Structure 1
Amino acid sequence: MNITITPRAAHRLQTISETDSNPELALRVSVESGGCHGFQYLMSLINAKDIDPAEDTVFENEEVARKTGDYKAKIVMDEPSLELLKGSSIDYTMELIGSQFKVTGIPGAKSSCGCGTSFDIA
């Protein structure tokens, strides 16, 4: 099961980490029932020490960052969320209404809402 971290998302996470003087910063992505399309994803910043190795999967782009000089980032997901989002990407978008981390390219999604945080599974 794989989740891709875009360079833009990795850069933003590293910037936040440096601003907060917290090298252990990670982005937790979880999915719950709700939203206008059945499921919605939620994101929060956490400290890596709060990751539960029995429940969570951590995705890091450290190897890619080392080879390409890109920014390092950690994404954390629990198993049920990972099942719904596997194969997708975590991106950071900057739009007129604001900027946000966003899940893109969810393989099993058949539709999503206008704001992009709610989706249906085929």
Structure 2
Amino acid sequence: MAACTAQGLARRILSQALFARTRLPVISSRLSSAESASDAPSPAASAASVRLSDACVQQLRRLAADGSALRLAVDGGGCSGFQYVFSLADLDAPLGPDDVAVERDGARVLVDAVSLEYIRGATVDYHEELIRSAFRIIDNPQSEQGCSCGASFSIKIE
């Protein structure tokens, strides 16, 4: 029982910290080479572990014709503790100081460094159904479980 309480407390603390982060203003700039030369894995190296499915690439290339890129973030909330948030961003907008661009065949996804840690190893997909079409995250090795609609997840606590 104590382990369950400790995990719940850890999830609440992480959720509150992540939720507080989302309210900070974003300052536009690019990552410098000095920042990526540290001993920790660089955001660009972590971005390589995020994959874009063929369906995602096709839809993003259609959107890129309109000058849009996909912005992906992880926020506190949802029925499982964290939720994926997708929005459109200007393709030519400069990257924020902690933003990483994941690109494949002309498709571009922008992710901040904090959110990237919660989706490292996952695949960004685009799925069409009879009643909706949406971007989604599939095969996220950082998540322990998710809700049935796939919009929220809980993280693995090691």
- Shorter-chain TM-score above 0.5: yes
Matches of 2:148 and 2:130, distance apart in 1: 14
DSSP 3-state at the match of 1:82: helix
2:137 to 99, 103, 106: 103
Larger radius of gyration: 2
DSSP 3-state at the match of 2:92: helix
What TM-score results when the alignment is normalised by the length of structure 2?
A: 0.65
User: How far did residue 9 of structure 1 move?
Assistant: 0.5
Over 4 Å off, 4+ runs = none
Write the mapping of 1:28-107 to structure 2, written as runs, cut at 5 A.
28-61=71-104, 65=105, 72-107=106-141
Question: Relative to total residues, which structure has the larger helix share, 1 or 2?
Answer: 2
Higher relative contact order (CA 8 A, sep 6+): 1
User: How far did residue 53 of structure 1 move?
Assistant: 4.6
DSSP 3-state at the match of 1:50: coil
Matches of 1:91 and 1:75, distance apart in 2: 11
Please, which runs of 5 or more residues in structure 1 have no aligned partner? 66-71
Paired positions, count: 109
Matches of 1:121 and 1:90, distance apart in 2: 17
Question: Relative to total residues, which structure has the larger strand share, 1 or 2?
Answer: 1
Check 1:113–1:51 CA distance in 2 against 1; reply closer, same or farther (3 A cut).
farther
What TM-score results when the alignment is normalised by the length of structure 1?
A: 0.83
DSSP 3-state at the match of 1:27: strand
Give the share of equivalent positions with the same residue, in percent. Answer: 34
